[in-house]
């Protein structure tokens, strides 16, 4: 029999225990804590409630200003960080461009030096060709003219037209014409 009573009576007790605990906790909060005493005074004296609301509003404004100032400080730090990053980026870009321009100028100077050396070598080669090829050809031409004039001078007493290859009918330079006329 005891077991039947515990089953049927025990299940009905728990809601009362929970409600009693909640009421006891609320009464203890109101009677034992500073916040509970303030709440009791505010309910008992409504004019104090208005002062408390004004105090709460001032407290919230002060805390909001502190939070706003901190947010502005964080934003200012972020802006300074972004500005510093932009400056570092521009400086790195200028450094890179300066190095690149230095390399380009170095290559340009190297190429110009190579071109100057090549021009000097070509000039020396032309001088060498002139001395070793053209000068001898000119000397041979002068020797030929000298021999031809010498032969003409010898033969002029005879008939120039009778010697084959030394005919005066071909083009004769002005100097040769002047000599032939005498």
Q: How confident is the model at residue 174 (pLDDT cuts 50, 70, 90)?
A: very low
Q: What confidence score (pLDDT) does residue 48 get?
A: 64
- Name the residue with tokens 């000119």: 138
Determine, yes or no, domain membership for 54: yes
pLDDT at 165 over 90: no
Q: Is residue 1 part of a domain?
A: no
| Residue 37, domain member (yes or no) | no
Query: Residue 84: inside a domain, yes or no?
Result: yes
Asked whether the whole model's pTM tops 0.85, one would answer no
Decide if 56 is inside a domain: yes
Residue 160 lies in a domain: yes
Residue 142 domain-assigned (yes or no): yes
Q: How many domains does the chain have?
A: 1
Least confident segment among 44-48, 111-115, 159-163: 159-163
Question: 10 Å Cβ neighbour count for 166?
Answer: 13
Q: Does residue 85 sit within a domain?
A: yes
Write out the residue range of the structural domain in which residue 119 sits: 45-181
């Amino acid at each position: 029999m005891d077991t039947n009573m515990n089953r049927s009576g025990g299940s009905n007790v728990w809601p009362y225990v929970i409600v009693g605990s909640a009421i006891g906790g609320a009464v203890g909060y109101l009677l034992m804590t500073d916040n509970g005493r303030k709440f009791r005074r505010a309910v008992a004296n409504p004019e104090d409630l208005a002062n408390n609301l004004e105090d709460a509003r001032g407290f919230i404004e002060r805390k909001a200003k502190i939070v706003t100032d901190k947010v502005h400080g964080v934003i200012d730090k972020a802006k300074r960080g972004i500005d510093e990053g932009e400056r570092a980026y521009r400086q790195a870009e200028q450094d890179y461009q300066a190095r690149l321009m230095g390399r380009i100028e170095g290559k340009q100077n190297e190429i110009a030096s190579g071109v100057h050396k090549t021009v000097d070598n070509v000039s020396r080669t032309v001088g060498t060709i002139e001395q070793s090829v053209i000068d001898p050809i000119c000397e041979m031409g002068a020797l030929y003219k000298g021999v031809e004039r010498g032969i003409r001078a010898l033969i002029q007493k005879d008939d120039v037209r009778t010697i084959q290859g030394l005919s005066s009918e071909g083009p004769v330079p002005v100097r040769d014409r002047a000599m032939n006329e005498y």
